Amino acid sequence: MNASEKAQGVELATKIAVIVHLFKSHFPDAKADLKPWRNDPDTLKLVDPHSIDIGFHLPGWSPRFQSRSMLVQIHFHQDFLDQSQRFIGVEATGFNHQGQAWRLSTVDNWQLEGNYQPAADIGEKLKCFCRQVFDVFSSRNNNQFSA
């Protein structure tokens, strides 16, 4: 779900701002997009209501990133008993003119996958960013929030 729509409370809005700052600290040329999804019925069918989605756009196609845009999805598990969401991981996906170029998932195996791999140092920065997102959402008593 678009980060702009998930930022309902001060705590979660602050965490989203921290995540944007962390990403930009690794990749200063990236421009954040808190509404990467269109608000049309076909797109909304594909959107996970239990994720926070942030787009990041580079000034142009980058051979080091093998992409022009990246989508960061912070995934949660919905607890239906107490209506809270628990952080489970991060997925980062790079897109080029042909569609998805690569993907990095902390829910899976922390390996970059795809036909077009970013440079090794970019991959390491992405993994470092993902570890920092874990720190933001996994700190003691801060890893869940009310829906």
Q: What is the pLDDT of residue 101?
A: 95
Q: What is the pLDDT of residue 13?
A: 87
The predicted model scores a pTM of: 0.85
> What is the C-alpha to C-alpha distance for residues 125 and 105, in angstroms, rounded to an integer?
14
Ranges of each domain in the chain: 3-146
Supply 31's token pair. 């421009």
Residue count of the chain, please give it. Answer: 147
Contact 125, 104 (CB under 8 A): no
Closest listed residue to residue 47, CA positions, set 73, 78, 13: 73
What is the DSSP secondary-structure string of 40-59? SHHHHTT--TTEEEEEEEEE
pLDDT tens, per residue, the chain with 147 residues: 667 676 677 888 899 999 999 999 999 999 999 887 766 566 556 677 778 999 999 999 899 999 999 999 998 887 655 556 788 999 999 999 999 999 999 987 899 999 999 999 999 999 999 999 999 987 644 444 444
Q: What is the pLDDT of residue 50?
A: 79
Residue 143: exposure state from Cβ atoms within 10 A (0-12, 13-18, ≥19): middle
Residue 87: exposure state from Cβ atoms within 10 A (0-12, 13-18, ≥19): buried
Q: What is the pLDDT of residue 1?
A: 65
